[in-house]
Amino acid sequence: MSVTPAQAATAQCPVASKAEAKRSYKAMGDTPPRGADAIKGVRVGYIPTGFSGGQVVVNKHHGVAEYGYQWTDKRSDTDPKARSLWVRVVCWPKAGKLSQLKNAPFDLGTFSGDTKQATLGGRKVLTMQGDGALGTGLLVGWVERKGTVVTVMASQPLVGDLDKIVAGIRL
């Protein structure tokens, strides 16, 4: 049996189990939230304290599989002190260069605005200020390896922690 380049690229990319996809589609939350191993195959080595809940986020579309976890607190999304952290792995076979993130087929957390390149946590990343759909804060993303993209959305109160958050993510 031969493996296509697309299959080979995504074979190393963490994907959600059927049970996790079911939890996501039913919007089932976790109280208290999960910890460093919230996303199977991904370790988030630094998670700021103070989160009261969390939820698995799974989405498949346009040949892309997205798998992540969102940590939140009890404040409303409109509260400027609200704390939210979303770490997502995207299995996108075409991903190979940082510049491609501007045209990535993501449903949410797209790099469609004014993007900048930066170095966070020792990684070259693309950054963009969060928009209304994701709240205020900073969206960052990078190509971890061919076919695998990681994005992190940190609400405004957590932007100062992004260097430690990004440095602590391991696939």
3-class secondary structure, 142: strand
pLDDT category at 23 given cuts 50, 70, 90 is very high
pLDDT of 132 higher than 80? no
Percent of the chain with pLDDT strictly greater than 70: 90
pLDDT of 134 higher than 80? no
> For the segment 48-105, what is each residue's pLDDT rounded down to a tens digit?
999 999 999 999 998 899 999 999 998 876 677 788 999 999 999 999 999 999 999 9
pLDDT category at 108 given cuts 50, 70, 90 is confident
What are the strands, taking DSSP E only, across the chain?
29-30, 43-44, 53-61, 64-72, 84-91, 115-120, 123-129, 137-145, 148-155, 169-170
Domain range annotation of the chain: 5-170
Vertex 119: Cα angle to 116 and 125 (nearest 5): 55
**Number of helices and strands in the chain (H, E):** 3, 10
Q: Which carries the bigger pLDDT value, residue 15 or residue 98?
A: 98
Whole-number pLDDT of residue 135: 73
Instruction: Read off the pLDDT of each residue in 26-30 and give the average, rounded to a whole number.
Output: 93
Q: Which of 11-20, 23-32, 61-70, 117-126 has the lowest mean pLDDT?
A: 11-20
Q: Which carries the bigger pLDDT value, residue 20 or residue 11?
A: 20
3-class secondary structure, 5: helix
Whole-number pLDDT of residue 11: 58
The first and second tokens of residue 102, run together, are 């501007």
Q: Which of 97-101, 108-112, 120-124 has the lowest mean pLDDT?
A: 108-112
b vs e for 1-32, b when ≥16 Cβ sit within 10 Å of the residue's Cβ? eeeeeeeebbeebbbbeeebbebbeeeeebee
Handedness of CA 87, 92, 93, 96 (dihedral sign): negative
Distance of CA 66 to the CA centre of its chain: 8
d(CA 107, CA 113) in angstroms, rounded, equals: 14
Whole-number pLDDT of residue 37: 94
